[in-house]
Structure 1
Amino acid sequence: MRVLPYDQSYTNWFFRYKLYHLPFWFLYHYLWWVIGLGNPAKALNTLFVLPYAIKYSFYVLFQALAVYFNLYYLIPTYLEKSRFFRYGFYLALTISVATLCTVSGYYFSAYVSGRTLAELYGGSTESNCFYRFVGNALPSTVASMTLAMSIKLTKNWIQTERRQQLLEKEKLETELKFLKNQFNPHFLFNTINSIFFLIHKNPDMASASLAKFSELLRYQLYECNDQQISLDKEISYLENFIELEKLRQNQNIEVVFESQAGFSDHLGISPFILMAFVENAFKHVSRQPDRTNWIEIRLSVVGQQLDFFVANSTAPQQTRELIHYGGIGLKNVQRRLDLLYPAQHELVIQPSPTDFTIHLRLHLSASVPAPILQPV
């Protein structure tokens, strides 16, 4: 286990538990106190008087706890999952409990100072004092919760806008790089030549290969312009690409592709996410003449969970090149996954002297129907 230096460990602990928020809450409640007393100097002086300092601490502590309980538990658990009734109920309960705990600070401060509530805070009876204390603590608690939610929602909105901008930029760059990589003369001419030689040897296979080649070009030009496409279309594209690549490879390469993704037409996926790994396998598969070289591709879908496995044989000298990754680049793929599927994917890459393995788990969402551009 790596031990952090004392100052670094302290800094991480400080930010992990959000202790840097404490000055904000002290200042926030101090401003409320200034509004209540109408005198900043008097409000500051009372902070150093024991009973009032206790009451002030109760305001800071319990309202802060209520705020963070709402932000980090109630909102993710209920509000973000559209469970509005339960969220409203637990939010009202949280506000009520925080208000009563804050009011208890008045009683505790009176007990510690050995004075009565009337002597400290004025009032004729304890019941009158209680309702007055609730009248002070409840608006303050509601205001704290509202302020914190406003800050949190604004921050989330800004982050979403930035992520959307990055996604749009990344999508354009990725599509340009990928199309440039696919539509290079090497790929086009080799595939066309392979089909040309098949015309005389096996016309039926040549016709089928030409149809696959046409579908592949059509997909890249017209059907992958949306942020999401049907998973079935992506799988069909992978199958066409694999069949065409098998034509171009020598006979010493065994290719296995297994797909268990039935009834997945309702799921959507970002274009070219899976393709990058398949392209890399064909590009960097070993080509040793004295042994069988292989590529293994397995895809399965359970519910909304996609499991994608790609492995290929490689030579020891190729491992370093594989780390840098061909095609659109490993860093680019990982970045797209981070932007498109935050906290919804797991990517494991395992290079070794004899093989290169990629395992991707991806949580997919329902696809949104979109018009498909057709060639004119």
Structure 2
Amino acid sequence: MNDNIWAAADFSLVQTLFLAVAVYVNLLILIPKLLVRYGSAVYIIGVAITLISLSFLVMFSGSYNLLNDMSEGIGDGPEMSPFMFVLEHVVQFSLFIIISFLYWYFNRHKEEEEKALQFSNDKLQAELQALKSQISPHFLFNSLNNIYSLSILNHSNAPIMIEKLSDILHYLIYEGKHEEVALADEIQLIENYIQLQLLRKLKNEESIHYRITGDFSNKKIAPLLLINIIENGFKHSNISSEKNGFLKIRISTAGNTLTVLTENTFTPNDKKKGIGLQNLEQQLEHMYPKSYSLKVNNKNRIFRVELTLELD
């Protein structure tokens, strides 16, 4: 009885070792060397050769004799023929080859999904950086033109405008590259921008009204979103050419809801959809696809932009 137990243990150990060999040969040799390189036909031939070779190796390892000795010891019928022994092991190895193949297949599928997701994220970040890079030169071009005009007139506001512009550019360069910034910092950027515009000494500048209210602490937002709306209002308003022109800016929070509203008069022939609002729409779709509402309309020569954004 004890002899049969030890024989069964030896038999199981040999079987386990050969099954492990089948799995690792498939994962390390057959799949990468044959399937990936040469295709399924060559892989199937390789699998068939492996199955038959391992089955004969098991038989010649002494497992066939151990199995028959155990059968005789417990009186379990006639000896198993060599053919049936090999066939039985071909089936066993086939099962483990299939399991290891499925393991490889699903792992590869998962890796491809992760690579596709990473590629998508990388592409998204590249697109967002491209959008942000369009904002800075556009804004810088307009501001430098204004400072240049004042410097020609030797206006006292020119040095102050340079200081304000320096603060804004510092924010664009160092904060604009982050995924999120403090909402309070973004609001400060807008206030600096408005002050910079007021320093231009526009005609009818008393027609520029802005109100910023609410609790902006402990809130985060993607950088350089809101400045698009404010810049669009200044760029396309006709406050410099029309006596009754105006620009109104309202920014407020209610809980986690941020609302930005601009209204400005404009000359109909001059009103075009600029790069600022185009960038804004693209960035919102990327970063807040289900958390924003953007309404843009013009009626009675008043252009209105209203953004409602749910912040995390």
Give the shorter-chain TM-score range. 0.5 to 0.7
- Aligned pair in 2 of structure 1 residues 177, 206: CA closer, same or farther (>3 Å)? closer
Kept in 2: contact 1:276–1:333 (CA 8 A): yes
Q: Which moved more, 1:226-235 or 1:349-358?
A: 349-358
Root-mean-square deviation over aligned CA pairs: 2.9
- Indicate the SS of the match to 1:282: helix
Match in the other structure for 2:269: 317
Kept in 1: contact 2:239–2:247 (CA 8 A): no
- Aligned pair in 2 of structure 1 residues 345, 208: CA closer, same or farther (>3 Å)? same
Per-residue CA shift, 1:154-199, capped at 9, x if unaligned? 9997886465234302221112211121222x42142255378443
Q: How many Å separate the matches in 2 of 1:216 and 1:353? A: 34
For residue 309 of structure 1, report the CA deviation from its aligned partner.
0.5
Q: How many Å separate the matches in 1 of 2:242 and 2:232? A: 23
Q: How many Å separate the matches in 1 of 2:183 and 2:148? A: 27
- Aligned pair in 2 of structure 1 residues 291, 271: CA closer, same or farther (>3 Å)? same
Q: How many Å separate the matches in 2 of 1:221 and 1:290? A: 35
Q: How many Å separate the matches in 2 of 1:297 and 1:155? A: 47
Q: How many Å separate the matches in 2 of 1:352 and 1:157? A: 48
Q: Which moved more, 1:155-164 or 1:306-315?
A: 155-164
Q: How many Å separate the matches in 1 of 2:248 and 2:233? A: 9
Q: How many Å separate the matches in 2 of 1:249 and 1:155? A: 58
Amino acid at match of 1:256: H
- Indicate the SS of the match to 2:246: strand
Per-residue CA shift, 1:34-85, capped at 9, x if unaligned? xxxxxxxxxxxxxxxxxxxxxxxxxxxxxxxxxxxxxxxxxxxxxxxxxxxx
Instruction: Tell me if 1:293 matches 2:245.
Output: yes
Percent identity between the aligned chains? 23
1:190 to 126, 146, 156: 146
- Indicate the SS of the match to 1:164: helix
Kept in 2: contact 1:285–1:294 (CA 8 A): yes
User: Runs of 4 or more off by more than 6 Å in structure 1?
Assistant: 153-159
- Structure 2: runs of 5+ lacking an equivalent: 1-109
- Indicate the SS of the match to 1:183: helix
Taking structure 2 as the reference length, the TM-score comes to 0.57
For residue 279 of structure 1, report the CA deviation from its aligned partner.
0.8
- Aligned pair in 2 of structure 1 residues 350, 215: CA closer, same or farther (>3 Å)? same
Q: How many Å separate the matches in 1 of 2:292 and 2:137? A: 27
Instruction: Tell me if 1:338 matches 2:295.
Output: no
Instruction: Tell me if 1:266 matches 2:218.
Output: yes
- Structure 1: runs of 5+ lacking an equivalent: 1-152, 200-204, 366-376
Number of positions where the alignment pairs a residue of Structure 1 with one of Structure 2: 202
- Aligned pair in 2 of structure 1 residues 167, 275: CA closer, same or farther (>3 Å)? same
Match in the other structure for 2:200: 248
Q: How many Å separate the matches in 1 of 2:280 and 2:162? A: 30
Match in the other structure for 1:181: 138
Taking structure 1 as the reference length, the TM-score comes to 0.48
- Indicate the SS of the match to 1:293: coil
Q: How many Å separate the matches in 2 of 1:177 and 1:216? A: 15
For residue 289 of structure 1, report the CA deviation from its aligned partner.
4.4
Match in the other structure for 1:362: 309
Instruction: Tell me if 1:233 matches 2:185.
Output: yes
Q: How many Å separate the matches in 2 of 1:155 and 1:306? A: 38
Larger radius of gyration: 2
Q: How many Å separate the matches in 2 of 1:183 and 1:261? A: 29
Amino acid at match of 2:138: N
